[in-house]
Amino acid sequence: MHNTISTRHQNLYLEDVALDDIANQFGTPCFVYSKDAIRQNFMAYKEALGDQDHLICYAVKSNSNLAVLQTLADLGAGFDIVSGGELERVLLAGGDASKIVFSGVAKTATDMRRALQVGIHCFNVESETELALLNATAAEQDKVAAVSVRVNPDVDAKTHPYISTGLKENKFGIDINLAPEIYQRAAQMDNISVVGVDCHIGSQITEIKPFIDAMDRLLVLVSELESMGIRLNHIDIGGGLGVRYQNEDTPTVADYMAELLPRLEGRHESLVMEPGRSITANAGVLLMEVQTIKSNGLNNFAIVDAAMNDMLRPALYQAWMDIQPIKHNSSAQEATYDVVGPVCETGDFLGKGRPLAIAEGDRLCLFSAGAYGFVMSSNYNSRPRAPEVMVDGDKTYLIRARETITDLVRGEQLLPTGS
């Protein structure tokens, strides 16, 4: 677990704030992030990259709260976006448009127009259709769109099938073998300027080798393009570095760069990266309270006030995320619990078979909830979404208020009476 979490007097702290105090102030369920952890995780990339010419584009999808984006923008981060909504968030948070790369399998003309208008760094194009649409959209505005082609290098990232993206059979990118042809066509388009190549092979990758294999394949392509007279400015290796949820032996950013950077030695292209999870996952937790403890003779259930609508990862990917009491309960007996939410689905669990010494009313902390947590939350079962809080030293800031019933029905309309 990240070093911004500590235990003091049998109480869990994030930086210098007791999680119990946050739960008292903001209620549960509640997402809490450490500003310092976000900063440290981002700086680990900067430091590991050293003199290598680079642009770190934080993957907004992993946690898109405005205050999180602002924290990263202030550190000089670029951003990897996948929608018009993410673009507006980055701009609202003070992000620099010229450091944005726009990924995503099928961008709309409306999103392209806005991105061209604000002058993003480049579009990561994933199909010929998209390339043609971008050329036409840029022509309307008399602009030239900077393009990087997302290729599919066909490497096995050895991660969960739902978050593996670089295999031949996935929907992402363009087959690397067909890429030269597409580059040639792109180079001839009036409103396209070819600037880079990119790939993203998957997420929660805990080995370095798949990244290196992907880079080696990209480099073969870059040489081939060069011999065709197409010279690129950057190589984007995507995101995907895994984090420790349980006891995964995850390489550090420094380990990863120590193997990757020698591959780029002496080359003129700059390196673009799109990390998400490795910046935000272990910078955040989800606080929740045990509502009911019950047993069916086979299993003990701790029914908490957070659910799959707040944190979908366990239900969707069978992801294991650590759960601990935020305060020691000396009068509770340890037992094995399935920690589940109140949503009407058997799949609504946060953790199974967890040894915990807890009682009703105790508060728990679900770790590593800073990435793919709030952003994947929903209002299923008409549950207002949880608030988000940022800790900075001994200060706490509410960075998103708990939703109200008014928020829940915003935009809905009753039919006219008598219709």
DSSP string covering 233-244, please?
Answer: SEEE----B---
Candidate ranges 32-40, 58-66, 138-146, 349-357; the one touching ligand LLP (CB under 6 A): 58-66
Inter-residue contact 116 to 143 (CB < 8 Å): yes
How many residues touch ligand LLP (CB under 6 A)?
Answer: 21
Q: How far is the CB of 61 from ligand LLP (least distance, A)?
A: 6
Of 95, 166, 251, 276, which one interacts with ligand LLP (CB under 6 A)?
276
Inter-residue contact 36 to 4 (CB < 8 Å): yes
Write the Ramachandran bin of 264: left for phi over 0, alpha for psi from -120 to 50, otherwise beta. Answer: alpha
Q: Is 133 exposed, middle or buried (0-12, 13-18, 19+ CB in 10 A)?
A: middle
Q: How far is the CB of 258 from ligand LLP (least distance, A)?
A: 19
Candidate ranges 198-206, 328-336, 361-369, 380-388; the one touching ligand LLP (CB under 6 A): 198-206
Is 203 an interacting residue with respect to ligand LLP (CB under 6 A)?
A: yes
Is 275 an interacting residue with respect to ligand LLP (CB under 6 A)?
A: yes
Nearest partner of 214 among 162, 256, 266, judged by Cα: 256
Nearer to ligand LLP, 95 or 325 (CB): 95
Of 95, 238, 284, 387, which one interacts with ligand LLP (CB under 6 A)?
238
Candidate ranges 226-234, 236-244, 258-266, 343-351; the one touching ligand LLP (CB under 6 A): 236-244
Structure tokens at 18: 């007791």
- Judge whether 344 counts as a catalytic residue: yes
Is 78 an interacting residue with respect to ligand LLP (CB under 6 A)?
A: no
Of 89, 99, 277, 327, which one interacts with ligand LLP (CB under 6 A)?
277
Nearest partner of 34 among 72, 4, 63, 77, judged by Cα: 4
Is 164 an interacting residue with respect to ligand LLP (CB under 6 A)?
A: no
Distance of CA 145 to the CA centre of its chain: 26
Q: How far is the CB of 241 from ligand LLP (least distance, A)?
A: 6
Residues 106-145 that bind ligand LLP (CB under 6 A): none
Is 239 an interacting residue with respect to ligand LLP (CB under 6 A)?
A: yes
Nearer to ligand LLP, 13 or 172 (CB): 172
Candidate ranges 130-138, 270-278, 361-369, 381-389; the one touching ligand LLP (CB under 6 A): 270-278
Own/partner contacts of 111-114, CB < 8 Å, gap of 24 or more, are: 111/83, 111/84, 111/87, 112/137, 112/138, 112/145, 113/137, 113/140, 113/141, 114/84, 114/87
User: What is the C-alpha end-to-end distance of the chain, expressed in Å?
Assistant: 57
Of 148, 191, 278, 324, which one interacts with ligand LLP (CB under 6 A)?
278
Of 154, 274, 310, 388, which one interacts with ligand LLP (CB under 6 A)?
274
Inter-residue contact 301 to 294 (CB < 8 Å): yes
Is 251 an interacting residue with respect to ligand LLP (CB under 6 A)?
A: no
Q: How far is the CB of 149 from ligand LLP (least distance, A)?
A: 13
Inter-residue contact 367 to 321 (CB < 8 Å): yes
Q: How far is the CB of 196 from ligand LLP (least distance, A)?
A: 13
Is 210 an interacting residue with respect to ligand LLP (CB under 6 A)?
A: no
Nearer to ligand LLP, 184 or 250 (CB): 250
Inter-residue contact 43 to 252 (CB < 8 Å): no
Is 163 an interacting residue with respect to ligand LLP (CB under 6 A)?
A: yes
Is 310 an interacting residue with respect to ligand LLP (CB under 6 A)?
A: no
Structure tokens at 19: 């999680």
Q: How far is the CB of 293 from ligand LLP (least distance, A)?
A: 28
Q: Is 346 exposed, middle or buried (0-12, 13-18, 19+ CB in 10 A)?
A: exposed
Inter-residue contact 340 to 323 (CB < 8 Å): no
Q: Kindly report the backbone phi and psi dihedral angles of residue 142, in degrees, each rounded to the nearest multiple of 5, phi listed first.
A: 55, 45
Enumerate the active-site residues: 344
* Positions in the binding site for ligand LLP (CB under 6 A): 59, 61-62, 80, 103, 163, 200, 203-204, 238-241, 274-278, 313, 317, 372
